[in-house]
Structure 1
Amino acid sequence: MIRRDFLKTLGVAAAGAAVGLPAAARAAANREFIDGVEPGGSLNNLDLNLRPIKPEVDKQTTIIVIGAGSRGSTYARYAEMFPYALKVVGVSDILEHRCRRTADKHGVPAEHRFGDWSEVFKVPKFADAVIVSTPDDVHYAPCMKALEMGYHVLLEKPVSPTEKECKSILAQAKKYDRIVAVCHVLRYAPYFVALREIVRSGAIGEIVSVQHMEPIQYAHMAHSYVRGNWRNSKLSTPIILAKSCHDLDILRWIIDKPCKTIVADGSLHLFKPENAPEGAPMKCTDGCPHESTCPYSAIDIYTKQKRHLNVFDLDGNKDPDFILQRLKTPPYDSYARCVYHCDNDQPDHYVAEMVFEGGKTAAFSMEAFAPAGGRRTRIMGTMGYIEGDGTRFTLWDFLTRTPKVWDRKVSEIQEYKGAGHGGGDYALERDFVEAVAFNDPGRLSSTIDVSIESHVMGFAAERSRRSGRKEKV
């Protein structure tokens, strides 16, 4: 859709709109928009060609879940919703109760219940595809073996902890002519679909620059990147990939040009032993004298706020005393650790500046110390400006001087009801199921081919952060 046609869809007549506002009026209008005064129109009727998350297939795809934690269980749930299209026929997890829970739910026979991932591939191929949702450092080996044995792969992000391994997976997929979909689910979320479609329409002219911030949220940072699985870059993946490869992917997707150079900085500022308050024990459950005044208290985050409970295998029991008992019991007690006494090394603030082909620039910021999540994006074009917060964005058109807002709630979009990540989880899985059923990777937005580029950007950013030099991508 060209800019003229896009303006028509908004009910705006471009002809005659070039009459300029007085400088004071322009400033006032812009100030009202920036300060958040309700804009004067809606973009909610924009046709995004959103498809239902229900797959359109005439054959059932069979799949093995390797890693039955939070993400693996989420993807397996799609088979419960659409059993005619997807069936879980195998489950692997080193934690027996997680394997049993998912396998029982899907009626997986005993001979197809496995512990370590390697056991899956000791038997002949018995499914169409596998889901690899293991920890980051256990993506590469099962993915490579699955491709070798002829399985298609739904691969949780990030692809792998090293650039070499990422490229090897791409080469393996091509060698065996298999489909690998990377779980860049934000590409499928209606908010980002709408954002990209408006940019592609030419409504803001040519993109010149983008500012994008990912506020992790302080409790989420403490849970995942100080205490949790992604706390140490040597044991998982650098945080720019573990947390923010989604964001690099979205920047590349929206700008739609290759990134040429990147320079990054950031460090671990707060969560270090030297910052521990006097008398703080190794765990919050050890009678810490500061527990009631610490915003990072594990007791507060898990038993009172009841955040991030999926790691505790509660099976629906959210009683505070039960959660507290879990916090005192291995292996869950790792989440009770004092945030100043963990083996973490991930930065709690991270900035990167990117230059894309054609001189377009992007500034990215990842911030731990924010009260809430929700990505913030500003897109500056030659004919307009967009500002959004992850659920709602406003388009300011320089020609018409009329701001328009997009704020459709995913819960109210019939096609996307029940899908996480802003509606993206099951839309991705729909496309993967269809791609496998029809052997057509073109049905996917996030194939391994296109996902590798944003990963390469992340590895370049991390090299720059550590070396202090600008890196070519």
Structure 2
Amino acid sequence: MSKRTNYSNEADDACPLTCLVVGAGNRGSKYSVYATLFPSQMKVVGVAEPNQTRRDNLCKKVGTIGKEYMFSDWREAAEKKKFADFVIITTTDQHHRDPAVAFARQGYDILLEKPMAVTLEDCKEIVKVCKECNVTLAVCHVLRYTPWVTMIKDVIDSGRIGDVVNIRLTEPVGFWHFAHSYVRGNWRNTASSTSSLMAKSCHDLDLINYWMSPKRCTSVASFGNLTHFTKENKVGFWHFAHSFVRGNWRREDSSTFSLMSKSCHDVDLIAYWMSPKVCVSVSSFGKLSHFTKSNKPAQATSRCLDCPVEHECPYSAKKIYIDAYKSGNTGWPVKVITDIVDLENITEALRTGPYGKCVYDTDNDVVSHQVVNFQFDDGATANFSMVAFTKRLCAREVKVYGTKGEIVYEDGWDRMQICDFRTENTEYWPIQREFPSEMAGHGGADFQLVKTFIESLKSETKQMATGPEDTLRSHLLVFAAEKARLEKKVVNIEADGSFY
């Protein structure tokens, strides 16, 4: 970790860590809230954000940023002499590498939004530079910091359910959430972002790797498709439409593939639970279903506000945004589509921006459902499923099968089921959740992530659960799984991390 500079005249133990926020969108703003709740621990002293409204909003929220440290471009901040202890980087997925490398070379410790980057080469470069510069790098795999995730790992490591032979993890994205983020949103197109496996599910693959460790995954295969969102009939749910059909993750060329953007959390969880087992093989299958031009109704128009069949569509932008606002929702996903949250600006955003487009008539190309299979070095297996067409919103479902028992849990439950095969008794363990309401995102994991990061920097000894090497290993599984899906083959993973 870089040597901390005391930027004030206060005694070191009373001095809050100072922070520069790069990217004042949804995630950057969420993490910054910690400084307003715990000013003795964290102080935001700079912001770099090209959107003036977002930049001004964050400055107003924290109230601790001088004019000379308000930047429209992160490069302006990076050119200055180091003026903060650490930087939070929450730029879009394809713009993580350059600021991470630049600020590492300036000596900043880094809290980097997931995914680390959208190519394996860029991920390796970030880790390499952070090591060379001796700075702390933590990646925002927030699910690692939820109580139920760590409880599962503790039960596995205790030997209570014997040796783990299989983990089954499902991420139900939610019909409207997928439409918001991966059909209309920033992650709708692989070329402009990344695959949905990376964008949405890298968390999940990380968890599988974590739970299985120290076992090593040796083979990977993956299958998945984009289906149904073409131009014939309209069925499905809104979160996928928001993010992956209309949103920032709708195209892989402008973001990343959906397994990375949506599910890298889940890959991370599998890796976490399985550790110290190591994954050696991966397979994956997936497809873009339903959100395609062939599924567009004959009467439908290109925008929801002008569409005669809008009222019949579960992905109606009017329902997801205008009706939600009228019902009192001024948070996510409404605030994502406009910086000024009022009826006039929401309506204008739907008339002119991507979030008002018909989900069957966008440029999205990320898959809407995908399965990934993992084999670990001792023969244990795991399987992960990401599906857009669900009522529940990102409420993970997990089952861990051991030789002496099993664990069953669904996100949102207040108790975890643990069955002992020897006694045939099932115990129900309560889930403890403590976090401020202002940082309730991801079940309080947003709060725990920032809290743990601050503690790790102050102590200079405490390790983050999502450090550079750990994150690189779980991201490697995501890239291997996407290779398996695209090439329709099982991908084998060597001990050095190379795969073929």
Q: TM-score range by the shorter chain?
A: 0.7 to 0.9
Cα deviation for residue 414 of structure 1 reads 6.2
Matched, 1:134 2:91: yes
Q: What residue is the counterpart of 1:275 in the other structure?
A: 295
Contact 2:54 2:339 in 1 (8 A): no
Question: Deviation digits for residues 77-109 of structure 1, max 9, x if unmatched?
Answer: 100111111110101111111011111222311
2:406 pairs with one of 382, 385, 392: 385
SS at 1:89 equivalent? strand
The two structures have a TM-score, normalised by structure 1, of: 0.83
2:312 is the alignment partner of 1:312 = no
Partner-residue secondary structure (3-state), 1:231: strand
Paired residue secondary structure (1:443): coil
- The alpha-carbon distance between structure 1 residues 269 and 131, as it changes in their structure 2 partners (threshold 3 A), is same
In structure 1, the partner of 2:58 is 102
Correspondence 1:435 to 2:417: no
- Provide structure 1 residue ranges, at least 5 long, that are not aligned to the other structure: 1-55
- Give the TM-score taking structure 2 as reference length: 0.79
1:400 to 401, 420, 423: 423
Provide closer, same or farther for how the CA distance between residues 416 and 394 of structure 1 changes in structure 2, counting only shifts above 3 A: farther
Aligned counterpart, 1:79: 35
3-state SS of 1:424 partner: helix
1:456 has 2:476 as partner: yes
User: Which of the residues 287, 311, 314 maps onto 1:295?
Assistant: 314
**The residue matched to 1:276 in structure 2 has which SS?**
coil
Residues 209-288 of structure 1 mapped to structure 2, 5 A cutoff: 209-235=166-192, 236-256=255-275, 257-285=277-305, 287-288=306-307
TM-superposed deviation, 1:320: 5.1
How far has the Cα of 1:335 moved from its partner? 0.6
- CA-CA distance at 1:343 after TM superposition: 1.0
Tell me, yes or no, if the aligned pair for 2:303 and 2:351 is still in contact at 8 Å: no
Equivalent pair of 2:189/2:364 in contact (CA under 8 Å): yes
Say whether residues 1:357 and 2:382 are aligned partners.
no
Structure 1 partner of 2:241:
none
Deviations 1:222-257 (A, max 9, x none): 000111111111111111110111000000100112
Q: Summarize the Cα distance change of 1:273–1:415 in structure 2 as closer, same or farther, 3 Å threshold.
A: closer
| Whole-Å separation in 2 of the counterparts to 1:367 and 1:57 | 47
Per-residue CA deviation, residues 283-319 of structure 1 (Å, 9 max, x unaligned), is: 112x11210001111111112245611313466x5x6
Structure 2 partner of 1:48: none
Deviation at 1:156, TM superposition (A): 0.2
Deviation at 1:407, TM superposition (A): 4.2
Question: Distance between the aligned counterparts of 1:172 and 1:348, measured in 2?
Answer: 35
Q: What does residue 122 of structure 2 align with?
A: 165
Percent of matched pairs sharing the same residue: 37
SS in 2 for 1:460: helix
> In the alignment, what sits opposite 1:327?
350
Q: Contact 1:216–1:368 at 8 Å: present in 2 too?
A: yes
SS where residue 371 of structure 1 aligns? Answer: coil
SS at match of 1:230: strand
| 8 Å Cα contact 2:304-2:310 kept in structure 1 | yes
In structure 2, what is the Cα distance between the partners aligned to 1:290 and 1:434? Answer: 53
Q: Give the distance between the partners of 1:409 and 1:299, measured in 2 at CA.
A: 38
Compare CA radii of gyration and give the structure with the larger one: 1
Change (3 A) 1:77 1:288: same
Q: Aligned match of 1:376 in 369, 392, 397?
A: 397
Q: What amino acid is the match of 1:249? A: D
Paired amino acid for 1:380 = Y
- Decide whether the 8 Å contact of 2:33 with 2:439 is kept in 1: no
| Alpha-carbon displacement from aligned partner over 1:324-364 (angstroms, at most 9, x marks no partner) | 344235xxx21101111111111001001000121110011
More helix by share: 1
For residues 34 and 490 of structure 2, the distance between their equivalents in structure 1, rounded to whole angstroms, comes to 43
Deviation at 1:176, TM superposition (A): 0.4
C-alpha separation in 1, matches of 2:402 and 2:412: 21
For 1:66, the equivalent position in structure 2 comes to: 22
Say if 1:405 and 1:218 are closer, same or farther in 2 by CA, change over 3 A. Answer: same
User: Whose strand proportion is higher, 1 or 2?
Assistant: 2
**Which deviates further from its counterpart, 248-257 or 298-307?**
298-307
1:91 is aligned, of 40, 47, 52, to: 47
Aligned residue-pair number: 409
Structure having greater relative contact order (Cα 8 Å, sep ≥ 6): 1
Amino acid at match of 1:372: R
The alignment yields a C-alpha RMSD, in angstroms, of: 1.8
Residues 134 and 59 of structure 1, relative CA distance in 2, 3 Å threshold: same
- After superposition, what is the alpha-carbon deviation per residue over 1:150-179, rounded to whole angstroms, capped at 9, x for unaligned? 111000000000001001111011100000
Supply the distance in 2 between the matched residues of 1:462 and 1:116 (Cα, whole angstroms): 32
Give the Å deviation of 1:415. 8.2
